[in-house]
Structure 1
Amino acid sequence: MSYDDSNIFAKILRGEIPCNKIYEDEFILSFHDINPKKKIHALVIPKGKYVDLDDFSLNAAPEEMVGLIKGLNIVAKKLGISTEEGKGYRVLANISDHGGQEVPHLHFHLFGGEKVGKMVE
């Protein structure tokens, strides 16, 4: 899978498609999923053009990596689901075809606000 500048997350980052923003900084953008699977379902995406976690881990600058990890926690706190604010959450990243990735831009799903359930069914 190669990076496609016409993917929906690239369009959201460029402001071509609106989103219900939760948080944004120099490294990430987070917004509510338009088709939530749990009571709380947010997306966190890096601002760089990375296809998936493998691409990101090989090519991102160290400050982007730190920014992404810290950003995940900031978003969880804002949503009230972090272990400091709530009862926990799940972070999920789908990688490539067998991992179920549909959009060729690295993204993380944050699920919470209720029991998430089994890891894989």
Structure 2
Amino acid sequence: MTAYDPSNVFARILRGELPSHTVYEDEATVAIMDIMPRADGHVLVIPKVACRNVLDAPPEALQAVALATQRLARAVKAAFDGDGVTIQQFNESAGGQVVFHLHVHVIPRHDGMSMKPHTGAMEKPEVLAANAERIRSALTAL
């Protein structure tokens, strides 16, 4: 297996070297807004421990990520009046992984609406900030 690269974007965010819109944090995980969202409210749940993906993650990191993912799924569904939630997690290049730090996509969904295509276009920071606030408010109401 390929070694963990501490220069990946999520490791840099965790170290405070890059900005992010944090919506949730506990002792083991952080949830941030995806800067190239497939839908409004698209968040990423990331463990604080260095692990490349689910294949090398310690069991306690997987447990923390799963629990945070459930919490964020409830919050984004409520915050964006979703009919459902898509949860995605990719492992290694062949599995679709692009950033090699374990992360889970949590995306609120609405009946009859497709996700936006992944074009590489970044969302405006003020939109991400407003969406983050909606999710933080929903988290406090849960």
The code of the aligned residue for 1:71 comes to A
In proportion to residue count, which structure has more helix? 2
The CA RMSD over aligned residues, in Å, is 2.2
Residues 22-54 of structure 1, C-alpha deviations (whole Å, 9 max, x = no match):
100011110110011123211111111110111
TM-score, normalised via structure 2 length: 0.70
* Aligned twin of 1:8: 9
Structure 2: 5+ residue runs without aligned partners?
A: 116-142
Partners in 2 of 1:113 and 1:88 — Cα distance?
A: 5
Does residue 21 in structure 1 map to residue 22 in structure 2? yes
Alignment partner of 1:111 is 2:107: yes
Q: Report which stretch shifted further, 19-28 or 36-45.
A: 36-45
Amino acid at match of 2:76: L
| 1:98 aligns with one of 94, 97, 100 | 94
Residue identity matched to 1:72: T
Q: Percent identity?
A: 33
Tell whether the 8 Å contact from 1:91 to 1:108 is kept in structure 2 after alignment.
yes
Q: Which runs of 5+ in 1 are unaligned?
A: none
Query: Which amino acid in 2 is paired with 1:95?
Result: N
**CA distance in 1 between partners of 2:110 and 2:48 (Å):** 29
For 2:70 and 2:21, the matched residues in 1 are separated by 18
Residue in structure 1 matched with residue 48 of structure 2 by the alignment:
47
Amino acid of the structure 1 residue aligned with 2:99? V
Matched, 1:65 2:62: yes
User: In 2 relative to 1, CA 81–96 (structure 1 residues): closer, same or farther, beyond 3 Å?
Assistant: farther
Secondary structure of 2:75's aligned partner: helix
Residues 2 and 104, structure 1, Cα contact 8 Å, conserved in 2: no
Match of 1:76 among 73, 78, 95: 73
